[in-house]
């Protein structure tokens, strides 16, 4: 037991980070994980290193009063950050989903350290404003590293809840009985138990078949009966799910577990919602989560109906390219391919903020392999060891021979105050849903590259004078063309459907002119235009992705006119024309 404890303690140092927050420098390292304090220092270090390209905002505080920071990356020489398309990226909305924070840090590090060196990234930083919140659930991240946990615990907002309805709050959490920094499993020998030892690996157990004698009874996760109610671990932290508490399509707890008492009851979530509402230029959203290898898009429930066809083309283009950037990941629809969710984050950003949004579910546990490549193996060559080739056995061999035993705690005797002589063992908190640090670099780079790809597709409007033609005494026909060579339009079709955001505005003005007529030019060769009846000098337009629109104005007078294009989510443009 002592040897196992030393090994796991060493693992904690390696994985959680052996350097202090003050030692973090730029460029950041991604062969390790950052705890909450180190993550904060990492984004502060990026800001200190690149003050001309970044600003650091204190978004607000969590329920336990920890700071939530956002790093803005934008070149002020190409305009104010609100004047450009906004790309919002966050991670770690669930406290245990720590590698999502690493993706955000890597993206920020990549954009800043490559600026001026990589032409593609330089142009993206000049064009867009990136808003990056590496950790949404800062309390959950803090406790995941500092406390003993399973790979799935410390997810909740730290808002105490009486789960077992005994009048006490969070009073019966997991207990780290052996003090190794992990919450593992408990088992007890029992000839009438439900499981027996796996014949191929004594660390695993298989369920007994009818007529077979048992060997073990499974007792659940490490813990004791803290409140004396005859149950163990029944009132852990929370539970308010920070991805079920947003202010769109929210449903109460009896419909959606973890919903909280009302939308945005999470202190930090409300602060982030206000932060987004103050940035109407956000057109693209990425929210990174924990595991599964998926890029998920909404709608989150069938009842909401499908997105308009124009939006589906955008999602398919971005999703399918992201699949190619990250091999093995799947581009999926939330309610149809996974399950329905209410009050989730991307539902809020899609319908309230007016953006496109993906949830990136990261690590694929099937990548923890220890097997021969069947396609490369020739008949009669290199037979496998006798035994099953399923996921559990492969993962244990991966632990043994690739991770050198750092991810699994062997079963160790322990005297439990209730159960007596038991054994504690199983997968540690830094396993199962998290890649080993040696696998982290590839994961963060590929997923950040998906963000970078979508950032390259934000709307970039070009306005040009098609024609200036005198058609009468002091009467001119002006034709204007607007082009968008990228996939993302200036407004989502969902926003148009909901009438939730204003369209773009094309306005013609001049001190000595009068706009007699103006409207969309449908056919330049046939001179067919649909003129607007009132105030023809102001046109409300929508720029599609990979598309163009053309407008025609009849203008009486002489002198200088200005044609101004303004948009919530694309950069404004102006043409000055002499008549």
For 365-387, the pLDDT digits (tens) are 888 888 766 655 454 444 444 45
Prior bond to 299 cis, omega within 30? yes
The reported pTM is 0.93
Q: What are phi and psi of 429, to 5 degrees?
A: -65, -25
Assigned architecture for domain 461-578: Sandwich (2.60)
Report the C-alpha gap between 496 and 503 in whole angstroms.
8
Taking Cα atoms as reference points, which of 34, 150, 99 lies closest to residue 292?
99
Q: What is the pLDDT of residue 7?
A: 40
Q: What is the pLDDT of residue 160?
A: 85
- Average pLDDT across the chain, whole number: 92
Report the C-alpha gap between 150 and 133 in whole angstroms.
25
Q: Is 343's pLDDT higher than 70? A: yes
Sheet containing strand 330-333, edge to edge, reads 54-61, 67-73, 129-133, 86-91, 282-288, 356-361, 294-297, 330-333
Percent of the chain surpassing pLDDT 70: 93
Where are the CATH 3.40.630.10 domain residues in the chain?
2-146+243-366+439-456
Q: What is the pLDDT of residue 307?
A: 97
Exposure b/e, 540-553, CB count within 10 A at least 16 = b: ebbbbbeeebbbbb
Report the C-alpha gap between 424 and 513 in whole angstroms.
84
Quickly list H helices, 114-251.
Answer: 119-127, 138-146
Sheet containing strand 205-207, edge to edge, reads 205-207, 195-197, 216-221, 185-189, 420-427, 408-416
Report the C-alpha gap between 202 and 561 in whole angstroms.
83
Where are the CATH 2.60.40.10 domain residues in the chain?
461-578
Nearest 5 degrees, angle CA 78-CA 83-CA 84? 70
Q: What is the pLDDT of residue 525?
A: 92
Q: What is the pLDDT of residue 384?
A: 44
Q: Is 455's pLDDT higher than 50? A: yes
CATH 3.40.630.10 is the classification of domain 2-146+243-366+439-456: yes
Q: What is the pLDDT of residue 21?
A: 66
Taking Cα atoms as reference points, which of 406, 404, 408 lies closest to residue 425?
408
Q: What is the pLDDT of residue 399?
A: 94
**What does the pLDDT look like over 262-279, one tens digit per residue?**
999 999 999 999 999 999
Alpha-carbon separation of residue 541 from 245, 248, 338, 552 (angstroms): 34, 27, 36, 13
Q: What is the pLDDT of residue 162?
A: 78
Q: What is the pLDDT of residue 382?
A: 43
DSSP state of 548: E
Q: What is the pLDDT of residue 336?
A: 95
**3-class DSSP assignment, residue 186:** strand
Pairing of strands 513-523, 573-578: unpaired
**What does the pLDDT look like over 509-549, one tens digit per residue?**
999 999 999 999 999 999 999 999 999 999 999 999 999 99
Q: What is the pLDDT of residue 365?
A: 84
Alpha-carbon separation of residue 74 from 71, 89, 300, 571 (angstroms): 10, 14, 32, 13
Q: Is 569's pLDDT higher than 50? A: yes
Query: What's the rounded mean pLDDT across residues 418-436?
Result: 95
Q: What is the pLDDT of residue 366?
A: 83
Query: What's the rounded mean pLDDT across residues 331-335?
Result: 96
Percent of the chain surpassing pLDDT 90: 85
Q: Is 560's pLDDT higher than 50? A: yes
Query: What's the rounded mean pLDDT across residues 296-324?
Result: 97
Q: What is the pLDDT of residue 169?
A: 83
Query: What's the rounded mean pLDDT across residues 285-294?
Result: 96
DSSP string, 2-21: HHHHHHHHHHHHHHH-SS-G
516, two tokens: 């007699």
22, two tokens: 């003050």
CB 360 within 8 A of CB 287: yes
């Amino acid at each position: 037991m002592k040897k196992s404890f030393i090994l796991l303690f060493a693992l904690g140092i390696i994985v959680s980070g052996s350097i202090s927050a003050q030692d973090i420098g730029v460029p950041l390292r991604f062969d390790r994980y950052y705890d909450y304090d180190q993550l904060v220092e990492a984004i502060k270090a990026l800001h200190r290193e690149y003050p001309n390209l970044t600003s650091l905002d204190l978004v607000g505080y969590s329920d336990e009063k920890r700071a939530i920071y956002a790093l803005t990356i934008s070149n002020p020489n190409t305009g104010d950050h609100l004047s450009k398309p906004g790309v919002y990226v966050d991670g770690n909305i669930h406290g245990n989903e720590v590698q999502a924070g690493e993706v955000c840090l890597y993206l920020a590090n990549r954009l800043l350290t490559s600026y001026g060196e990589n032409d593609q990234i330089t142009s993206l930083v000049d064009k867009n404003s990136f808003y990056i919140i590496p950790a949404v659930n800062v309390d959950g991240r803090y406790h995941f590293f500092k406390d003993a946990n399973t790979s799935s615990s410390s997810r909740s907002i730290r808002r105490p809840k009486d789960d077992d309805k005994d009048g006490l709050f969070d009073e019966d959490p997991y207990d780290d009985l052996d003090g190794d920094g992990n919450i593992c499993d408990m088992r007890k020998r029992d000839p009438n138990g439900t499981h027996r030892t796996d014949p191929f690996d004594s660390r695993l157990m298989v369920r007994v078949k009818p007529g077979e004698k048992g060997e073990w009874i499974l007792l659940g996760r490490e813990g004791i009966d803290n409140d004396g109610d005859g149950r163990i671990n029944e009132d852990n932290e929370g539970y308010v799910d920070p991805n079920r508490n947003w202010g769109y399509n929210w449903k109460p707890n009896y419909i959606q577990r973890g919903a909280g008492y009302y939308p945005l009851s999470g202190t930090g979530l409300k602060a982030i919602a206000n932060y987004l509402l103050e940035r109407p230029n956000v057109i693209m959203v990425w929210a990174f989560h924990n595991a599964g290898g998926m890029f998920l898009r909404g709608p989150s429930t069938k009842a909401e109906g499908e997105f308009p066809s124009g939006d589906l083309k955008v999602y398919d283009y971005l999703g399918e390219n992201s699949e190619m950037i990250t091999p093995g990941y799947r581009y999926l629809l939330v309610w149809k391919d996974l399950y329905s969710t209410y009050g989730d984050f991307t539902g809020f950003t899609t319908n309230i903020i007016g953006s496109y949004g993906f949830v990136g579910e990261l690590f694929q546990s099937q990548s923890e392999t220890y097997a021969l490549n069947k396609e490369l193996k020739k008949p009669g060559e290199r037979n496998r060891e006798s035994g099953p080739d399923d996921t559990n056995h492969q993962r244990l061999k991966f632990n043994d021979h690739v991770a050198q035993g750092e991810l699994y705690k062997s079963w160790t005797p322990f005297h439990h105050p209730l159960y007596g002589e038991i054994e504690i063992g199983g997968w540690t908190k830094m396993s199962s849903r998290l890649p080993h640090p040696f696998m982290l670099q590839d994961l963060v780079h590929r997923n950040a590259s998906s963000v970078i790809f979508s950032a390259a597709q934000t709307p970039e409007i070009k306005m040009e004078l098609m024609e200036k033609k005198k058609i009468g005494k002091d009467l001119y026909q002006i034709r204007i063309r607007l082009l968008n060579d990228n996939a993302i339009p200036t407004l989502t079709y969902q926003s148009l459907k909901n009438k939730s955001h204003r369209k773009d505005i094309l306005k013609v003005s001049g001190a000595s002119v009068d706009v007699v007529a103006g409207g969309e030019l449908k056919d330049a060769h046939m001179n067919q235009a649909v003129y607007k009846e009132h105030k023809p000098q102001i046109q409300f337009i929508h720029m599609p992705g990979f598309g163009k629109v053309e407008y025609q104005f009849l203008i009486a007078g002489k002198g200088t006119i200005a044609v101004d294009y303004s948009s919530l989510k694309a950069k404004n443009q102006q043409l000055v024309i002499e008549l």
